[in-house]
Structure 1
Amino acid sequence: MSRIAGWCVAVLLSMAGANAHAQMDAERVRIHGSQTMAARLVPAVAESWLRDIGYGDIRREQPNPTLTQIHAQRDGLPLIVEIQASSSAQGFQDVIDGNAHIAMMTRRPTAAELDAGWQLGDLASHDQEFAMALDGAAVVVHRDNPLAQLSLVQLRRVLSGQARDWREVGGRGAIHLHMMASANSARDLVDERVMQGAPYAPAQLHADGESLLRAIAKDPGAIGFVTLRQPWGANVRPLALSDGGRAIAPTRLGVQSEDYPLARRFYLYGSQMMGALSRSFALYAMGQRGQDAVARAGHFAVTLRPGYAPPTLAGPKEYRELVGNATRLPLSLRFNLTGNNESGVAASVYDSRAVRDIERIVAFMQLPVNRGRRLLVVGFADMPGSSVAATMMSNDRADLVAHELMARGLPVLHARGMGSQVPLATTGSVAARYRNERVEIWML
């Protein structure tokens, strides 16, 4: 080997060694969990966060199919955001074991997981639970199908093959089920909330959502489901769905309010002792810039934008007269029931999203375009056995929120409780009560 060639090799080896040493010494933010969140959502928000806090030389690497690393530098100091795709359960376990700073989860932790992670702190608190984005599944049919809505019970009958003709659920003609061949987030959600262990009927299988939708557009008897992120095209339309209450379509209002039964939150969870950079990332994801990145990644953001008055209002006359001339804000404030939400204890009476939504309402009403507008606060309860108690409970919920908003300088014209009327889900479970006990905000 010549002297020059040897010198070049030595320089290259030295640079490689320095690079490896820099990676070993780089500070890391480790985010582990849901494959769906790791694919596009979290990397997009992480890159936006790094830019906005002053990092440069941002580049994305993928050492293996499940690991994404985002490298960046600021003031000569390197940082690596490590995004490991596994599952919600594994991400949570990694936080418990100290192998991750943040867990990405498409659900709340189970009671068993909370038990195992008791040392992490109050995982229902807005300081540790961050509702980052909204997602869900749309059940779609051909445009000419006369059916407008299905209950989840009817949908299970259709998808399982117990109902084989649309006439059994109010339509016409034979039912043709279309599904994607591979696992996907829409399938996971339908498995959990609709099928509940029931097998699917034989289906025509498709490679992806686009080919599934093209097939449904040509088949008047077709039904299928896709993620809410998938545009469904001109000859395909979604069905409104009900879970024992009123039927809700997957509109922006239905999804952002989480009234639509196949909507779900994407969460970040961190320990009460999470580091400054990890907390900075989680809080950034809650803010406007982070939520803009959420929307660019194709998900529903949870930041507040103007809603609209639904074309038809369901509910008692008093309710329809109260909100008939108002515009609904696209949210529903929900609560930690008796100090307990679905899966954790929290100090706040509001759930973690509602805590932030109240602040978002304040900021929204302070925009110049909303000056002089007034608010209606409408509460609902889940106490079907006693209409008097339900009315009292729903009034208490509405008053609580109204006082919170007025304390922040917002004009509330009315606060009214509607009892157990206009339910979203069949009562009888903690999950149903969590959905039904809500407060709507309307703007005049």
Structure 2
Amino acid sequence: MFKKIAALTLSALAVLTISALGAGVSGRLVIKGSDTMLPLANQWAEDFQKKNPRATISVTGGGSGVGITALINGTCDIATSSRPIEPKEVAAARSRNFVPKEFPVAIDGIAVVVHPSNPIKSLTVDQVRDIYTGKITNWSQLGVKAGRIVAVGRDTSSGTYKFFQEDVLKGAKYRADMISLPSTNAIATTVSQDKGAIGYIGIAYAKSFAKKVKVLPISFGKGKPAIYPSDNAIRSRQYPISRSLFCYTRGNPTGLAKAFLDFVMSPEGQAGVRKVGYVPIK
């Protein structure tokens, strides 16, 4: 009799333990923003939901600016951004009675890519700037035979567009004939199909297109070593075009948003950063 009661008790405890472990957090979380961070946010959402099956997470891109606007308007819980939030966006948030909370969550290197057939071996930051501002229009000006340069970049809603303009172009305007595309994937695809093209994409996309585009080492200037965007070079910021990737919330996060960001910064969440192809923040 006692053995039967003990067995039933143990069974009940086992059920309670399994229920407690499987419960996790619940609710619906909306994440929106950076196209660069889209595969990363999807990876985090997938891994988080495995641990918290009662949580529903919606992840969409559209661009960093789109995500931050959605956060300000209250239509998303977390905005992903490949650039720091701008003062005017903080002011807009304050007008809605909150201050955005910033979370650096990963590190990225913006890879400069060309068609695999292009014989160019490397570029300086100045040369990249001159290409994208229109001072250099033909590959022959750089000593190689690849014809007319077709500059490809993102659209104005993109955080990468703005970061590249500020960090590489030093605030100068993009060349008028640049092909502006709505996604990083579209840039990589275009460069892979056009022998004269050059583009800029997040390192995770460069890795996924490894056999279709050629990643160029970049140097800080003439006479300085050209650095390939390896994980170590990006982490140490030796690679010239490195940056942090961010998540933003409406003030200090609570509930499901806090649980998600705690997961993002955990060893498991940072392992997801490496899995996707970016560089862990810690």
TM-score of the aligned structures, taking structure 1 as reference length: 0.45
Residue 48 (structure 1) aligned with residue 55 (structure 2): no
Query: CA separation in 2, counterparts of 1:90 and 1:40?
Result: 17
Cα deviation code 1:67-122 (max 9, x no counterpart): xxxxxx2xxxxx3223344443343344344443322112111112223334534x
Q: Does 1:301 align with 2:279?
A: yes
Aligned-pair RMSD on alpha carbons? 3.8
Q: Distance in 1 between matches of 2:245 and 2:178?
A: 31
1:130–1:267 Cα contact (<8 Å) kept: yes
Q: Contact (CA 8 Å) 2:31, 2:58: kept in 1 or not? A: yes
- Residue in 1 that maps onto 2:122: 148
CA 1:178 to 1:232, structure 2 compared with 1: closer, same or farther past 3 Å? Answer: farther
**Structure 2 residues without counterparts, runs of 5 or longer:** 1-25
Match of 2:219 in 1: 241
Aligned partner of 2:191 in structure 1 is 212
Q: Which of 103, 115, 121 lines up with 1:130 in the alignment?
A: 103
Asked if residue 115 in structure 1 is aligned to residue 91 in structure 2, the reply is yes
In the alignment, the residues of structure 1 paired with residue 158 and residue 67 of structure 2 have an alpha-carbon distance, to the nearest angstrom, of 17
- Cα distance change on mapping 1:160 and 1:285 into 2, 3 Å: same
Task: Tell me the equivalent position of 1:284.
Answer: 263
Aligned in 2, Cα 1:120/1:156: closer, same or farther, shift over 3 Å? same
1:134 aligns to what SS in structure 2?
Answer: strand
Partner of 1:177: 149
The answer to whether 1:29 aligns with 2:29 is yes
5 Å-filtered alignment, 1:32-111, equals 32-37=32-37, 39-52=38-51, 55-56=52-53, 73=54, 79-111=55-87
The answer for the alignment partner of 1:163 in structure 2 is 136
- Separation of aligned partners in 2, 1:248 and 1:179: 21
TM-score, structure 2 length as denominator? Answer: 0.67
Aligned to 1:14: none
State the Cα distance separating 1:43 from its structure 2 match. Answer: 2.1
CA distance in 2, matches of 1:268, 1:242: 29
Which one of the candidate residues 199, 207, 210 is aligned to 1:225? Answer: 199
- 1:132·1:301 contact (CA, 8 Å) conserved in 2? no
Q: Which residue of 1 aligns with 2:240?
A: 261
- Separation in 2 of the partners of 1:236 and 1:99? 39
8 A Cα contact 2:63 2:158, kept in partner: no
Whether the 8 Å CA contact 2:140–2:147 is kept in 1: the answer is: no
Of residues 196, 199, 209, the one that matches 2:175 is 199
* Counterpart-to-counterpart distance in 2, 1:90 and 1:208: 19
Cα distance, 1:163–1:102 mapped onto 2, change above 3 Å? closer
Once the two structures are TM-superposed, the CA of residue 267 in structure 1 deviates from its matched residue by 0.7
Larger radius of gyration: 1
2:149 partner SS: strand
Structure 2: distance between partners of 1:275 and 1:115? 22
Q: Call closer, same or farther: CA 1:48–1:245 in 2, change over 3 Å.
A: farther
- Cα distance in structure 2, aligned partners of 1:50 and 1:83: 12
How far apart are residue 200 of structure 1 and its match?
5.0
Flag the structure with more relative contact order, 1 or 2, with Cα contacts below 8 A and sequence separation at least 6.
Answer: 2
Change (3 A) 1:277 1:244: farther
**8 Å CA contact 1:243, 1:261 repeated in 2:** no
Distance 2:81 2:221 in 1: 24
**Structure 1 counterpart SS, 2:127:** helix
For structure 1, the 5+ residue unaligned runs are 1-25, 57-72, 74-78, 217-221, 304-356, 358-444
CA shift in 2, pair 1:29/1:201, >3 Å: closer
Distance in 2, Cα, partners of 1:109 & 1:214: 34
